[in-house]
Chain A
Amino acid sequence: MNPLKVEHIVKQYGDKTAVNGISFEVSEGEIYGLLGANGAGKTTTMRMVLGLIYPDEGKIYYHGKPYSNQQLQGLGYLPEERGLYPKVRVSDQILYLAQLRGMSKKDADVNLKRWLDRFEVPDYYNKKVEELSKGNQQKIQFIASIIHNPKIVILDEAFSGLDPVNVELLKSTVKELRDSGTSILFSTHRMEHVEELCRNITILHRSNAVLKGNLKEIKKQFPKERVILSTEGEVKGLEQITGVTGVTRHEYGYEIGITNEAAGGDILRHAIGQTAISRFEIKEPTLNEIFIKTVGGDGHE
């Protein structure tokens, strides 16, 4: 039985459908990616999972049980817009939030200190949130969402606004959580994070799930349409090869668009005749490309 199971949830605001029949399951120790353009229905979906709003149709099961107040305590939530009391000390508010979710003050305190050490900021314990930098507030926010050892964690844009070092730090923490068996529902606009973290994804477009499933399977569905070619000298006449849709010159060489994989061989043969080749690769599509292809240029309303 999967910790989180969403079945055909529908949400309407007036005559506008915000979420239209989305289903997915998150198994134990899995990070599930929820992708979509702005306004596609990600946040609404997450809010329904959190029980902030109720779906008009469909069901959500937590460890096989429907929503109840007890389930709240097993959920962790990192909202997209950060929310902490600016004038309250870090320890006070984290302990408060942990207690609200059914933790004892003592356990929460132990956990908080452990997490502050993990993020290398133990001296923030007695600081007010407004004294911290944005990135550090983000760390505190992250701690607030996982302090009570939740079984299901919902991360809305977890890494936005962080520098690369802190992104790595948080990413490794998220992976640790995953490895310890936590189910994570993850939304972001950064496709490389999804590729790194998520096993299964759903791409939302205008309230509908347009693409759903295992990330590797999804990638296989999309043809390989790109060749990377690095050579010693110049290669001429690449555009004339049949199956080539376009050539872009980069510092490292050429990026060539192709209609099918067979064209790749023609390109290689053509290039070998002219100069020495240092790199040749037929690339599988990146999630970024898949996303743009699926959601399309009209995805941004």
Chain B
Amino acid sequence: MNNFWTVVGFTIKNKFRGKAFLITTLIIAIIISIGINLPYIFSQFGGDGKKVTNIGYVQSSQAELAAGSIVGDQLKAYNEAQEEPSIKLIPYEDKGSAAANETELKKAIANKEIKGYLEFGEATAESGLPSMTYKSEKLMEMELTSSLQSTLQAIRMEAALQSAGLTDEQKTQLFTPVDIATVQISATEGAGNIGEGKTPAEQGMNMGFVYALVVLLFMTIMITGQLIASEITAEKSSRVMELLITSVAPLKQMFGKILGMFIVGLIQIIVYVAVIIINVSLPHNSKTLKDLDIDFSLIDPSLIVYALIFYVTGYFLFATLFAAVGSIVSRTEDLGQAVLPITMISLAGFYITIFSIGNPDSTLVNVTSYIPFFSPYVMMLRLGLSEPPMWQVLTSIGILLATIYASVWISAKIYRTGVLMYGKRPSWKELRKAMKAYKI
């Protein structure tokens, strides 16, 4: 057992001594810091508050333009009545002809007085409004036109209600939105919270938690898994392996490496989380945090326990496979290709979960939550967002543990054989033959 901890210690110490590791960690920490502070940085550059877009229109008493002028005036009045208007309408005097008006408005755009202008045409029969065209130098002014549209809708609604003679009270009744609260419950006895169900806030919190956890598991597997494989291959290609294997039992060595890397990965994650917490709790970010409405106490405690189980089991399942593959390959150059199948499996589990986050009851999710390489991801999704029955969760964990046992057994054999095989990557047949020859 002593040897085991020596291997763990050496693995950890070496990683932290390595410049590459420290630099990567530092760079990611910096990127996280920048990412979190980005909204604040932007708001510093973006000037004060909201931007107001100036829109011009022609105010005229001419018969054919009168309808347009009325609409323009109405828009102007409505927006001025708003507390924080995003649009300001600026009237321009009629120059007599359509061409002269257009020239004047274009000049106004060029002088940066206005961003664009509204042009009114003939009144249409159905709406009673004149046809309107918004002209500006920009592409895709969807937001602006839809804002104008809704403003006009509101104006007309007001006018119609006015003419219908409704009281203010009746109007309020009409405009108050209907509210339906959602609570997620479980009809059968679920593995999660039983009875009172989950409120929207809890659901949101759980969804965020599941999301974060799945991403975390994926990253841990990808980063540490690759590290484990490449370390073993490096030991093999530098032939230290022959010394190691004569000093310490291969199984101890493999698990020492896996656990050591796990601790390294964990420390790395703790550093990142600490960076996030420090950045978020900076005074200028406190408002953003409040807006997001994060309350960790809303997370179901049983969910955290399950998260821990699936995180650790998921990691060890993949780590043993990475170790096995690392032991087969003799040169680091060949490693990328060799670990590809494992990477793909991990990626598949990750994507199934991410894309099913809005649909946690699909058959795909149900089926894959039992398949060992996907279940650490997918079962977390079900636990967090739906209420799977207890027996299903336990079955999934059971299958997962059995697979880990099998994977450890096979990986240990491959490892024991693989580390002594040099040359090109051995085929399964060669590996089996070697296992027999080595009597493993």
- Indicate, yes or no, whether A interacts with B: yes
Binding site for B on A (CB under 8 A): 11-14, 47, 50-54, 56, 69, 72-73, 75, 77, 79, 81-88, 92-93, 96-97, 99-102, 144-145
B residues in contact with A86, CB < 8 Å: 238
Binding site for A on B (CB under 8 A): 2-3, 6-7, 10, 13-14, 17-18, 235, 238-249, 420, 433, 437-439
Question: Shortest distance in angstroms between B433's beta carbon and chain A's nearest beta carbon?
Answer: 6
B residues in contact with A144, CB < 8 Å: 243
Q: Roughly how many angstroms separate A99 CA and B241 CA in the complex, as a whole number?
A: 16
Please judge, given known A-B contacts A14-B433, A84-B238, A100-B3, whether A77 and B243 are in contact too, CB under 8 Å: yes
Question: In the complex, which of the residues B7, B14, B242, B438 contacts A83, with contact meaning CB atoms closer than 8 Å?
Answer: B242
Q: Are B437 and A53 in contact (CB under 8 A)?
A: yes
- B interface secondary structure, majority: helix
Q: Are A54 and B244 in contact (CB under 8 A)?
A: no
Please judge, given known A-B contacts A54-B439, A96-B10, whether A72 and B240 are in contact too, CB under 8 Å: no
A residues in contact with B10, CB < 8 Å: 92, 96
A residues in contact with B439, CB < 8 Å: 53-54, 56
20 A-B contacts (beta carbon < 8 Å) = A11-B437, A52-B242, A52-B245, A54-B439, A72-B246, A72-B247, A75-B246, A77-B243, A79-B239, A79-B242, A79-B243, A81-B239, A83-B241, A83-B242, A87-B18, A99-B3, A100-B3, A100-B248, A101-B247, A102-B2
Question: In the complex, which of the residues B7, B238, B241, B420 contacts A100, with contact meaning CB atoms closer than 8 Å?
Answer: B7
Q: Are B239 and A82 in contact (CB under 8 A)?
A: yes
Q: Roughly how many angstroms separate A145 CA and B242 CA in the complex, as a whole number?
A: 11
Question: Shortest distance in angstroms between A150's beta carbon and chain B's nearest beta carbon?
Answer: 11
Q: Are A53 and B420 in contact (CB under 8 A)?
A: yes
Given contacts A14-B433, A77-B242, 20 further A-B contacts (CB under 8 A): A13-B433, A13-B437, A52-B242, A52-B245, A53-B420, A54-B438, A54-B439, A72-B247, A77-B243, A79-B239, A79-B242, A83-B241, A83-B243, A84-B238, A85-B240, A86-B238, A92-B17, A99-B3, A100-B3, A100-B248
The residue of chain B having its C-beta at the shortest distance from the C-beta of A81 within the complex is B239
Q: Roughly how many angstroms separate A75 CA and B245 CA in the complex, as a whole number?
A: 12
Q: Are A52 and B240 in contact (CB under 8 A)?
A: no
Q: Are B242 and A100 in contact (CB under 8 A)?
A: no
Interface centre among B238, B433, B438 (most CB of A within 10 A): B238
Q: Are A100 and B244 in contact (CB under 8 A)?
A: yes
The residue of chain B having its C-beta at the shortest distance from the C-beta of A98 within the complex is B247
A residues in contact with B246, CB < 8 Å: 50-52, 72, 75, 77
Question: Shortest distance in angstroms between B4's beta carbon and chain A's nearest beta carbon?
Answer: 10
